[in-house]
Amino acid sequence: MHRFICWFFVYAYTLSFVGAQDRQVVVEAAPLAMEVNHVRCMILPTIFPTNISTSCVSFKDWYEKVDLQYGSLRATINTADIVILPLMATPSLPPYKGQPIFGAPEFWFTSMTSLGGTHAGLANVTTLRSSKNQISQREDLLNNGGVKSLGLAGLEEEGQEFVVIEEVRGMRLGICSFIYPFEGDLGVSGYDVKKYSRLVHDNADSIDFWIAIPYWRDGQYGRIQQDEQQQVMRSMLNVGFNIVVGYASKHLSMESLFIGNNQFALFDVGSALPESVSQTCSGAILEVSIHPKDGSLQNVGLIPTYPLLTESTSGGAELRVMLARDLEEGHFLSGLPADQKSMVDAYMKAFRSHKPSNIQEFYYPQSPSIRDNASHAVQLERGWNIEHPPPPESNNYAVQFLQMSREITLDTSYYTYLKGYYVLKEKGRYHYILGKSLTLEEAKSVLMQLQLKSHDFSKIVRLNGSSIIPHTFTH
């Protein structure tokens, strides 16, 4: 997975106590200093179109809007191996609608894939209210941007469970997303104890670690009370999920939270931004580090976010999500007005007073230059000229059928179907590739042939010179 961790300064781990909070510790984290063997996973607060324009605008305008609203998160989340976006939005035409549909143009989804998310949780009420065409269109937009869909069982297999399997540093993770309470419809997975118990049990030998992203269908109305929260979350842990992180409401909920050696549950990560400038929200990025040998959780922490109200280039009010500690420290925006500073202080005081002491608060210091470099780097990687819409995909597809920590020579006189393979080295790993200038259809055909030969971990990628750009293909 291509990541831009070079945008960060190398910081040593330091611990600093936050005033007026008993034993509240902030870990000033350095991605480059993290234990490289651990699998790092981040789950973001809910993302949906906010303060959205109702008219057609260019890709440049949409990208700049998304970059303004969410760009400050990009450099941080691009350091993780797995980044899950609980996403509530559906493609539509203007005038775009608010909840529960949260309609947005195609350009919004294309821009959103630039943040660095690897997976999008889509089993939610927005999907339930969308048409099949909208669901397919959204899945294509996300997949083309390298973001895999979670919680969709496929429009031809309605009501069946859907699990996405990822292999990171030799560890196989099974990631599920579903709606509670709901039995499943329109290709969206609902939660059923027997179904998921069977799924986990039947795959015990092939999947090492399980992650569940439930959407609380009644959570946004406060109808899932704390007793029921605890009961359903314990039920999901008993099924065999290692991490259970839910979403639905506009506010972070830490009341129902459990942690163990290799299990963790958090009821609601809240929202990154409210629907409009007249509303409020609270949220945090959950980060966990998983030891690939035994599946134990090495570090569990929250990165609180803050919905900052700023003035847009057109002179109107605009919301942007910030790392709350950046505002506390003054690293990102200089000279916050006194009223804004006091609101940030009150926000962080409330967060720390509710945060359990056994959950760390993580902080990744950054500056405007780090944020801008991250934004510029993704434009270069995607080949986007922001003055024009993104160009159509060229014939630069290939299929990766093997990835190893050391290079070996394959016997193509025996494995004749691998003739013509070549090896690209990237970030210390050797990637075995077939094809260089394939169309997407040609790459799908090669992938199918490799999977028939039991290369189950083969996947379609795109090539930019000797660099590999992940491309998701779901069949």
Domain boundary among 382, 415, 433: 382
Is residue 81 a part of any domain in this protein?
Answer: yes
Domain boundary among 350, 382, 414: 382
Ranking 71-75, 155-159, 421-425 by mean pLDDT, the lowest is 155-159
CA distance 461 to 50: 32
Tokens representing 59 are 């890709």
Are residue 200 and residue 105 in the same domain, yes or no? Answer: yes
Are residue 353 and residue 301 in the same domain, yes or no? Answer: yes
Are residue 87 and residue 64 in the same domain, yes or no? Answer: yes
Is residue 169 a part of any domain in this protein?
Answer: yes
> Sorting pLDDT into bands at 50, 70 and 90, what band is 464?
confident
Are residue 274 and residue 409 in the same domain, yes or no? Answer: no
Are residue 350 and residue 414 in the same domain, yes or no? Answer: no
**What CATH number has the domain bearing residue 94?**
3.60.21.10
Are residue 401 and residue 378 in the same domain, yes or no? Answer: no
For 217-270, the pLDDT digits (tens) are 876 655 566 788 888 889 999 999 999 999 988 899 988 888 887 899 999 999
Are residue 459 and residue 360 in the same domain, yes or no? Answer: no
Q: What is the extent of the structural domain holding 457?
A: 397-470
pLDDT at 395 over 50: yes
Q: Say how many domains are in the chain.
A: 2
User: What percent of the chain clears pLDDT 90, i.e. is strictly above it?
Assistant: 38
Cβ 126 vs Cβ 102: under 8 Å: yes
Q: Please tell me the predicted confidence (pLDDT) of residue 17.
A: 24
Are residue 464 and residue 353 in the same domain, yes or no? Answer: no
> Sorting pLDDT into bands at 50, 70 and 90, what band is 1?
very low
For 87-145, the pLDDT digits (tens) are 999 999 888 877 878 999 999 999 999 999 999 999 998 998 888 889 989 999 999 88
Domain boundary among 354, 382, 410: 382
Are residue 149 and residue 206 in the same domain, yes or no? Answer: yes
The overall average pLDDT reported for the chain is 82
* CA distance from start to end of the chain: 21
Are residue 202 and residue 262 in the same domain, yes or no? Answer: yes
Are residue 376 and residue 409 in the same domain, yes or no? Answer: no
Q: Please tell me the predicted confidence (pLDDT) of residue 178.
A: 92
Is residue 3 a part of any domain in this protein?
Answer: no
